[in-house]
Amino acid sequence: MCANVVVVGSLNMDLVTRASRLPRAGETLIGQTFSTVPGGKGANQAVASARLGAEVAMVGCVGSDAYGVQLRDALLVEGIDCQAVSRVDGSSGVALIVVDDSSQNAIVIVAGSNGELTPASLQAADAVLQAADVIICQLEVPMATVGYALKRGRELGKTVILNPAPASGPLPAQWYASIDYLIPNESEATALSGVTVDSLESAKLAATQLIKAGAGKVIITLGSQGALFADGQAFEHLLAPRVKAVDTTAAGDTFVGGFAAALANGKSEAEAIRFGQVAAALSVTRAGAQPSIPTLHDVQGFVPS
């Protein structure tokens, strides 16, 4: 299989409950529903890219438990090349997710097998990286592995995308020169830049800082307010389609996967951002992580309200 998008990252089983609101510290709430859904930022972005028109390969690790089988099978069903998805002893990654009635969520991640994805794993999968046009990374696997993937992507001349999630502070300075597109949300842009992102103007300041740090181009996703694109020369604010949100889980992953798929298929940056925005907007109208991700047909048939 010739993969034009390769995703290096996490696979988690999402343990999802819905409640009227998010619990406060020390509080026990009665939940409304519970489900187990394949997720993980890496796997979500791989599924999004595949459903939205790309040939996709995944590089990651699953555990020796039942979740590991289910996570790998969920990718295979999507036609994703899993030759570089390794099975290791122990538990698979899990994410504990609470979604409230306003569709906001709180998430706790346990890395499990995702912590076993090492630079050596990527070296063994180098042929997969070489087959890519676009390489996507996130921060749910070891930092050394992410750093290796970014550097190797640059060496191979690939388009390198980093979705810095979850981010709790600045990225290693040497990473920036390998990143073509840095795609944080508001909180991640705040953590990376030190600028509190709570408006379009503050997003511009944060993007400027990240460009100065060495990132090629920056796209800050702003939820219902759209996205800010910065290339060091100018800014462009792209408004988001208006939809009624049900569950925002995986919206960011859908944007990243859709953006990457569009780039890999020859779309311009602006076209790819708008394509990713429509895909993300459709995803929030549905519950769950991977189940919420739309198809290429869905996006092509989208009519703004």
- Output phi, psi for 201, to 5 deg: -65, -40
- Conformational region of residue 85, where left means phi above 0, alpha means psi within -120 to 50, and beta covers everything else: beta
Residue whose pair of structure tokens reads 């997720």 in the numeric block: 39
Domain ranges of the chain: 45-64+79-86+115-296
What Cα–Cα distance (Å) separates residue 282 from each residue in 256, 297, 299?
14, 12, 8
Q: What's the whole-number mean pLDDT along residues 116-124?
A: 98
Residue 305's pLDDT band (boundaries 50, 70, 90)? low
Section 118-134 average pLDDT: 97
Residues of the chain with pLDDT > 90: what percent? 85
Chain segment 159-170, per-residue pLDDT in tens? 999 999 999 899
List, in sequence order, every residue forming a beta bridge with 105; answer none if it has no partner. 99
| Burial of 305 per CB tally in 10 Å (0-12, 13-18, 19+) | exposed
Please state which of the ranges 15-19, 76-80, 146-150, 151-155 shows the lowest mean pLDDT: 15-19
As a whole number of angstroms, the distance between CA 267 and CA 271 comes to 6
Which helix (H) or strand (E) segment holds residue 86: the answer is strand 81-87
Question: pLDDT tens digits, residue range 277-286?
Answer: 999 999 998 8
Q: Residue 1 pLDDT > 60, yes or no?
A: no
A 10 A CB-CB count for 233 gives 7
Does the annotation count 180 as an active-site position?
no
Contact 47, 73 (CB under 8 A): no
Written as six digits, the tokens of 249 are 């889980």
What six digits make up the tokens of 130? 């070489």
The sheet with strand 12-18 has its strands ordered as 33-39, 12-18, 93-99, 105-110
Q: Which 3-state string (H, E, C) describes 182-220? A: ECCEHHHHHHHHCCCCCCHHHHHHHHHHHHHHCCCEEEE
Confidence of residue 2 (pLDDT cuts 50, 70, 90): low
Q: The domain 45-64+79-86+115-296 is classified under which CATH number: 3.40.1190.20, 3.40.50.970, 3.40.50.300, 3.20.20.70?
A: 3.40.1190.20
Q: Residues of the chain with pLDDT > 70: what percent?
A: 99
Rounded distance, CA 86 to CA 24, Å?
Answer: 38
The alpha carbon dihedral of 87, 116, 251, 279 has a sign of negative
Predicted TM-score of the model (pTM): 0.93
